[in-house]
Structure 1
């Protein structure tokens, strides 16, 4: 674990690369080093088949296995992926490149503090206390305009349970598990997992200003600013450089579902579609009624990253949401990807949030817009909804502000969501009991 202390004031910028049942699902257990095969492939498993039988059939380790669901994910060498050395040559699916296929994408300007002086989020939601003073967001005043625009104070009034009882899985670079801002907000330590390192401590690793360090802590902090009584389940799948593997992302999704997460936040993406990750999302959404949100990516491309790209389609589209970014003027962020299948945008520029080593971190990226949506869903779930769960993410997108009025965002017409910018007040008024 590499953690570095900071001076009282430090300003730097970093670019993170690119933006269960009785028998499973299971990963290879009690790893001390995470499995990182060159390629992975998902195969069908006949009823009654064991993991050992699958491995003997193919001559490759089954790194994910669920006999009840009828699948296994094999880890392959590069040679095996080309068809050399596999005992069973007829693979129904094409092997996927595994290593570093996913990445988080955001720009961070970190302004350091020697310690976090605001206390934890549960302290600010104790009886008789409020984060709001005369319409101003008092916890982190730098976010006041952002939160006024998305009507967060009104949302907190409409949903005073503030996310209590809702577990949000943050699948990311890990979190600073010792950060005082997160005290009392993390799931029990027995539920934590670091898939990247193959252990049970999902603490952030790295050096300030390099790669992805702090990204997951920032995402978790934004979820908790929106839903301050929610519980964060920290799952690490991205390394210090901000990249991670197909296998670990899929494993983390299954793990989150098995441990009762109601919302999964994926502030990460890939330019290539992973059938393995997409199937894990479908298991979460279609079979377990978990809501999944994913970031659109930060390359300013007319196509959004995977898995966000597939969020609007099929059964998974009923319980999932893709999120892009605009600024406080309602204009598309210069980095945000855009597409006709992007469902909604939130505010993803200069969002302040806790960072590792007691820092206050200002992030910009679709990665920061996405946890605002995750937190909004947690508010609704904790308060109780009057619409079918499968429609909740669709309702959030439909109740957004119209970003296309008066020629706004004309070059991106219908490519920043059905309507545009998340409006938490309108959303909650529409869905709460």
Structure 2
């Protein structure tokens, strides 16, 4: 049941940042049952959270009546979790209202695969590897070699990271990047002094304030968010990471969790939101949340998916949507030869590519591991945006500039089958991006 009834054409997710104190809001989340479906219901005079939840036969998740007095239908709506279809009795109680319903539970997944590990746990960070995150940023590069994680040297040369970091000497300082994912290993030494204030963290999956990456090492999605956050920090080591957990150890999560996390991130100071996750189905609830934060000039980066399909996942597929496209980017993956990764989705609406294979970063329990996927390409773009924002470059047109200043990879023979489907120009080039964005 994708859309049980006609959707309200202009419904937004203002309900998640509701002004009313009668229900949870984006600024005040609470543990919730994982409902099968989520409904957006327009409010009418005389409604109460209790009466409307009873009429629908579900549980009130958010109530926004901020625009009701002004007759603003887009800001006069409730969100209700449901585990059953609307019956005739429910329809009668709702009085013929236009209700939008979409699947909720486990509609999003992180994707990507752990492709290599390095042992030693905490001890492997000895000898200077941790220094990048612990304040020793001067020694990041030595003789053209990436000193902190030399395994990534070829990747960073491909996107010209060393020169880019010289062009952006603040290295993203003052910028917060929200990583909406499986959480991360909060105790990992790589993240010492690199996280936002704990008051900005949240675990929407478990409903608490500790977004810890959980699971069994090497199984499912465990470590996905830790890797993603570590990639952002290698590109922009001066930035802060805001950890927000919406995916379980199997790498899957719900529509409501993702939407609430997006709004939470913007409400708590994120300048960039990284979504290394996606769904095969378009979610109006999530897309409305993205529209709401991009209206506030928050940049949103989404991965394209890993099924080698001529169709990218959502919300990446909506990164060009009217109203949010100026602040959104979708990201696919290439290898070190600039050939589309065998797993990467592709499409005409895809905005940019980045290297997404065998990317080393922190892993849970003090380890380091490499992952491959468009999930690893996306945080390179998020880190690049953080570099620009750290230099106080205006947010407007940054997403467009990054996509337009990419390196043309369509001349690469292996990419001939994917003409015009590997980004507007091609692969991320941080130097071209920063050189031109600073001129605006």
Whole-angstrom distance in 1 between the partners of 2:257 and 2:358: 29
- SS for the counterpart of 1:63 is strand
Higher mean displacement: 110-119 or 416-425: 110-119
Q: Contact between 1:120 and 1:184, CA under 8 Å: does it hold in 2?
A: no
Partner residue in 2 for 1:283: 292
8 A Cα contact 1:102 1:243, kept in partner: yes
| Cα distance in 2 for residues equivalent to 1:84 and 1:106 | 44
Match of 2:130 among 109, 112, 119: 119
Contact 1:121 1:182 in 2 (8 A): no
Mapping for residues 221-236 of structure 1, pairs under 5 Å: 221-236=230-245
Q: TM-score, normalised by structure 2?
A: 0.87
Deviation at residue 92 of structure 1 after TM alignment: 2.3
- Give the equivalent residue in structure 1 for 2:322: 314
Please name the residue that 2:37 is paired with.
39
What's the CA shift for 1:345?
Answer: 0.4
Tell me if the contact between 1:27 and 1:63 (Cα under 8 Å) persists in the aligned partners.
no
Q: Distance in 2 between matches of 1:422 and 1:50?
A: 50
Instruction: Give CA deviations for 1:376-406 in whole Å, capped at 9, x if unaligned.
Output: 0000011022xx5231111100000000126
- Secondary structure of the equivalent of 1:426? helix
Counterpart mapping for 1:253-292 below 5 A: 253-286=262-295, 288-292=296-300
Structure 1: segments with no counterpart, 5+ residues = 1-19
What is the rounded CA distance, in whole Å, between the counterparts of 2:44 and 2:387 in structure 1?
A: 41
Counterpart in the other structure of 1:13: none
1-structure distance, mates of 2:189, 2:293: 31
Once the two structures are superposed, the pairs formed by residues 340-379 of structure 1 within 5 Å of their partners are 340-379=348-387
> 5+ unaligned residues in a row in structure 2: which ranges?
1-16, 67-74
* C-alpha contact 2:277 2:302 (8 A) present in aligned 1: yes
Q: Which residue of 2 aligns with 1:402?
A: 408
Residue 84 and residue 295 in structure 1: after superposition, are their counterparts in 2 closer, same or farther (change >3 A)? farther
How far did 1:23 drift? 4.6
- Kindly indicate whether residue 142 of structure 2 is the aligned counterpart of residue 133 of structure 1: yes
Q: Tell me if structure 1 keeps the 8 A contact 2:178–2:241.
A: yes
Residues 141-177 of structure 1, C-alpha deviation per residue, up to 9 Å, x if partnerless?
0000000110101110010010111011000000001
Q: How does 1:99-118 map to 2 (within 5 A)?
A: 99-109=105-115, 110-115=117-122, 116-117=125-126, 118=129
Distance in 1, matches of 2:105 and 2:377, equals 26
DSSP 3-state at the match of 1:212: coil
CA–CA distance in structure 2, aligned partners of residues 361 and 89 of structure 1: 55
Residue matched to 2:12: none
Change (3 A) 1:47 1:67: farther
Output the CA distance in 1 between the equivalents of 2:194 and 2:212.
Answer: 15
Deviations 1:27-61 (Å, cap 9, x if unpaired)? 59574x43211100222346997645644664532
Other-structure match for 2:249: 240
Q: TM-score, normalised by structure 1?
A: 0.89
Tell me the distance in 2 between the aligned counterparts of 1:50 and 1:383: 48
Q: Which of 63, 84, 88 is the aligned partner of 1:78?
A: 84
| 1:21 Cα offset (Å) | 7.2
The match for 1:162 among 158, 171, 177 is 171
Cα pair 1:48 1:67 within 8 Å, conserved = no
Residue 380 of structure 2 corresponds to residue 380 of structure 1: no
1:26 aligns with 25
In the aligned structure 2, how far is the partner of 1:345 from the partner of 1:220?
Answer: 19
Write the distance in 1 (CA, Å) between the matches of 2:151 and 2:416: 29
CA RMSD of aligned residues (A): 2.2
In the alignment, the residues of structure 1 paired with residue 222 and residue 113 of structure 2 have an alpha-carbon distance, to the nearest angstrom, of 11
The one of 288, 312, 331 aligned to 2:339:
331
Q: Secondary structure in 2 aligned to 1:247?
A: helix
Whether contact under 8 Å (2:134, 2:190) holds in the other structure is no
Distance 2:29 2:326 in 1: 35
Mapped partners of 2:415, 2:29: distance in 1: 51
Would you say the 8 A contact 1:257–1:290 is kept in 2? Answer: yes
2:190 to 181, 192, 212: 181
Q: Alignment length, in residue pairs?
A: 407
Instruction: Measure, in 2, the Cα distance between the counterparts of 1:206 and 1:419.
Output: 39
| SS, match of residue 217 in structure 1 | helix
Deviations 1:11-35 (A, max 9, x none): xxxxxxxxx575588059574x432
